[in-house]
Amino acid sequence: MLTDDFADAFVAGWLRDWNAHDLEALLSHYTDDVTFSSPLAVRLLPGSDGVARGKDALRAYWTAGLAALPDLRFEVLDHFVGVETLVIRYRNQNGGVVCEVLEFRDGLVARGHGTYQRP
């Protein structure tokens, strides 16, 4: 079960690492067999159907994303804690509101979903 302290620390580190564009620090919080789905992955990870399978695929997806969005910056609006799930609601550099739904296994993210507010 995720504790509030764990969730608070994870969110703070997640925000710091994204805003620093520190890909390896971000990836250190994910399992080697992670799956991560996102509508942006359809465009940035050809042939993936929007799902990065494994840490190497997630690295490729996020590397492409950081290259395409050099001004990427997030502002956390709030977060929600479940049993083994954390939802981070944030605003991106374009003002869009995004939620990431992260499922944990043994303290690491094993499955994640990027979800975007409709225009």
Average pLDDT taken over every residue of the chain = 96
Q: Are 102 and 87 in contact (CB under 8 A)?
A: yes
Under CATH, to which class is 4-116 assigned?
A: alpha beta
- The pLDDT of residue 96 is 94
Give 118's pLDDT tier (boundaries 50, 70, 90).
Answer: confident
pLDDT tens track for 67-78: 999 999 999 999
9-38 core/surface letters (b: 16 or more CB in 10 A; e: else): ebbeebbebbeeeebeebbebbbeebbbbb
Strand partners, 113: 37, 101
Q: What's the pTM value of the predicted model, to 2 decimals?
A: 0.94
Q: Which of 12-21, 38-47, 56-65, 79-88 has the lowest mean pLDDT?
A: 38-47
Residue 48 tokens read as: 């993936």
In sequence order, what DSSP letters do the residues of 26-79 get, joined into one string? HHTTEEEEEEEE-HHHHHHSTTSTTEEESHHHHHHHHHHHHHH-TT---EEEEE
Q: How confident is the model at residue 119 (pLDDT cuts 50, 70, 90)?
A: confident
Reply yes or no on whether the pLDDT at 11 is more than 80. Answer: yes
Residue 97: pLDDT over 80: yes
Domain residue extents for the chain: 4-116
Measured between alpha carbons, how far is 25 from 1 in angstroms, rounded to an integer? 23
Residue found by looking up tokens 């969730």 in the block: 7
| Predicted confidence (pLDDT) at residue 56 exceeds the cutoff of 80 | yes
Give residue 98's pLDDT band: very low, low, confident or very high (50, 70, 90). Answer: very high
